Every structure is written in structure tokens, then in C-alpha cells.
Amino acid sequence: MTLTRPGKEQPRNTEPTHTRAHTAPDLSVPPSLAQACACACGPAHPYLFPSQQPELPLCCFVLTLSYSLSSRVQIAGATIAPFVYRGIHVFIDQAVVEVRSGKGGPGCVSFRREKYIPKGGPDGGDGGRGGSIILVADENVTTLLDFRGRRHWHAKNGRPGEGRLCTGASADDLILKIPPGTLVYDDETGELVVDITEHKQRYIVARGGKGGYGNAHFKSATNQTPREATPGEPCEEFRLRLELKLLADIGLIGLPNAGKSTLLRAISKARPAVADFPFTTLHPQLGIAALDSERRLVVADIPGLIEGAAGGAGLGHDFLRHIERTRILVHLLDIMPPDGSDPVTNYQVIRGELAGYSDALAQRFEIVAINKIDLVPDQDREALVQDIRARLRQEMGDSGDEQADRVLVMSGGTGLGTRDLLEKCWRIMSCADEE
């Protein structure tokens, strides 16, 4: 029921209640990006881009939509700016920040003025110390996301000195928490400043200035009324580049859809995304595999690599650096790739990318795990495994038992052979520690 004032007719509202236009986000993709993705990843998915020619593969759509690790990405030799969609959770492993410590407070020029004390003398206090910028490693922090939204980090200046010999208040230090495994570079010179590797490790990256002296500091028998004071020390200002390299015992590598995320879910409580299309994992995942109450392994799931990753294709450089600090590489091979490729050929592709990126990484101890063995019929399983094992031993350059022992058969989906894989990794790490 509507109440109106007598003798006054209320105007009728003819305009719609909601006038704001709700527009869908622009998901248009440049033709150059679509063509590059089609060349690199193969068949397209027309239901995603019905009005665009050429069509974009689903894997590259997800990759382009969620990628935010660096400023550009190369696919099939073409440099492409990333598409960042609001609300997508991404793993941030690079950031550039500008830090500035606090200035020291100036000293004070003051003289004591009290009744019955005609010559009180100088009583100017010293200035306070400026705040420092301190980096602290915290194992509860996993990414550099906090430094992407805020680039400038400034500590406060020290307070000036006061009369009656009062020293100015010192500013609090600014604590920046970063994940262990972060390398700090001077962005202007490229010099490595510090490598933060341990929990609670501290490093003063910009030291606060000391406070200046008050005039009470300069009094002497020949200078009983000093009228001088010194300013505080200036601040330190740097532009730093932060790069995160994960610290893990085991690094899972392989082509997309080799079953790395499924294996991580099987051996730990980590829950990475798993789907039947490539590039499901868009950022590295960490999990802890517990063999028993005292033995634990930190496992890193590295997103799938493609041919040309060492040269920057796909997200190669962003992912390869995360396995530089792993102690053991577990190379997963799909025994029945969905594209019909040869598992040994796929092994050669990844080995070539490791050698192209770093000689030290190519020489890292490696275990080859033939995955998805449950997909092979029982009557064909033994012959297929023996054939792949023989060719892998030949590819490794040695046909002895030592190389054969490095080739394991498993299934991340059913858990078959996962325990043997973890025990093998633990034995290798224990022998390395003893040496």
C-alpha cells in the first residue's frame, strides 16, 4: 500500500531500476596468439572460441588465462603478453620491489633553562635511529604474492632529539617475510645480494641511519656553549628483484599429462588439480610424502614441460628453475601417451631440455618411473615394459643392473609401485648424506 500526500500526484517512475550494464569480460585472443598456440599444441576446441579463427587449443586457453608468473611467455617462437583474469589464483615466484630504510633523526641544540641555574649548559639530545628493512624467511609463506600488490616498502625515520638530554625515539624495523629459497638480486646491477634458504634466516637489506648528535655531545672545557648539532645519517635505498626457487627433495618432471599431479596426490596430502587435458597444473605444487613417523620427503610437482622449454617456449624458464635445487629428479613417462607418441622419444625430449637449460641439472640423479601401468592389458604388460626398459637402458648409455634399477614401474592412480619409488629415493638420499 502506497501513502501519498493529499492533492499531490506522485510521478511515475518509468526508468528501469538497474541501469548499470553488466558486460562479460573480454576474452578475445589476438590471431597471432591463436595461431602460435595452434602450432604448438595441436587440435583446437571450437566450443571455447566459436567466432574466432584460427581456434585456440584448450590447454593454451587455460595457460593464457591464468599465467601471471612473468611479463611475457613464448609459444612456438612467438613472444606473447600474458592474459591475467581477475580472481584466478596464481603462483607468484618473481617480484621487483623498492626498499628504503629510515633516516636518522637530527640532533638537538638546546640549553638548560631553570630558575636559580643561570648557566645550565647544553642539554640537546641525540636523534633516534631510522628503521631498517629486514628480510626474514618464513616457511609458512609459499609465494611472493604480497610483493606483487605493493612495490614500495619504506621504513620510518628516527625522531629528532629534544632538550633535557632526551634522545629521539628510534623507528621500528620493517620486517618482510619471504619464503625459504628466495634469491635477492640488485635489479640495477644484477648482483646476487643474498640467498635465503633456511627458516627464520634474517638479513638486513637496507640499514637504518644513525641519529645525529645533539649539542650536549660537543661540550668541552673550551667550548661550554656549543651551538652545533649533526643531522642523522641518510637512508639506504635499493631496487631489488626477488626470485623464488622451491626447496624440495624430489622434483617430478615430464611432459604434460604424464601423471605428476596424480602421483603427488597419491603420496601426500597435497591436492593439485587433475584433469584429462594438458597444462592442468599451472604453478609448482609442494607436498610432503611420509614414509613413516620419522622419514619424510618434500616433493615438488613441476608443471609439464614442452619441447623448446630450455629456449623459453611455453613457461619453460619459469618452471625449470624450480627443480635446480631438488636433490633427485623423478622423470614420469606415460606408458600409453594419448597422442600416440613413443615414451622413449618423450624421455629424450625432456632430457634434451634439461641439458639445454643447465649442465648441472642434466647431471642430477634421475629415476625414471613408467607411469599408468594399469592402463595396459595384463597380457601385453610384461612385453611392453621389457621393451621400454631395454630402450631406456640403451638411451642412458649403460645396460648394466645399476641403470635398470633406476627404471621403475608404477601407477599413480592405483598407488601401485609408489611405495617402492619413495623407498628408492630415500635410500639414494641417505647414501648421499653419508658420503
Give the closest residue to 371 by CA, choosing from 393, 392, 343: 343
At a CB cut-off of 8 Å and minimum separation 6, what does 362 contact? 351, 354, 355
Q: Is residue 12 part of a domain?
A: no
d(CA 324, CA 363): 11
Q: Is residue 414 part of a domain?
A: yes
Q: Is residue 18 part of a domain?
A: no
Which structural domain, as residue segments, surrounds residue 307? 250-434
Q: Which of 244, 272, 305 is the last residue of a domain?
A: 244
Is residue 16 over pLDDT 60? no
Q: Which of 215, 244, 273 is the last residue of a domain?
A: 244
Q: Which of 12, 47, 80 is the last residue of a domain?
A: 80
Percent of the residues in the chain that have a pLDDT greater than 90, as a whole number: 32
Q: Do residues 148 and 240 share a domain?
A: yes
Task: Tell me the pLDDT tens digit for each residue of 205-216.
Answer: 999 999 999 999
Q: Do residues 363 and 378 share a domain?
A: yes
Is residue 19 over pLDDT 60? no
Could you write out the DSSP letters of every residue in 48-85? T-TT-SSPPPHHHHHHHHH--SSS-EEETTEEE-----
User: Where residue 50 falls among pLDDT bands split at 50, 70, 90?
Assistant: very low
User: Where residue 339 falls among pLDDT bands split at 50, 70, 90?
Assistant: confident
Task: Tell me the pLDDT tens digit for each residue of 138-156.
Answer: 988 878 888 988 899 999 9
Per-residue confidence (pLDDT) for residue 309, from 0 to 100 = 55
Task: Tell me the pLDDT tens digit for each residue of 285-314.
Answer: 888 888 888 888 888 888 767 666 555 555
User: Are 57 and 45 a contacting pair, CB within 8 Å?
Assistant: yes
Per-residue confidence (pLDDT) for residue 397, from 0 to 100 = 67
- Count Cα atoms within 13 angstroms, Cβ side, for 307: 9
Is residue 358 over pLDDT 90? no
The chain-wide mean pLDDT, for the chain, equals 77
Q: Do residues 217 and 326 share a domain?
A: no
Q: Which residue has the higher pLDDT, 63 or 163?
A: 163
Task: Tell me the pLDDT tens digit for each residue of 155-179.
Answer: 999 999 999 999 999 999 999 999 8
Q: Do residues 104 and 49 share a domain?
A: no
**What element of type H or E holds 41?**
helix 31-41
State residue 49 phi and psi, 5-degree precision: -130, 75
Per-residue confidence (pLDDT) for residue 53, from 0 to 100 = 39
Q: Do residues 305 and 216 share a domain?
A: no
Domain count, the chain: 3
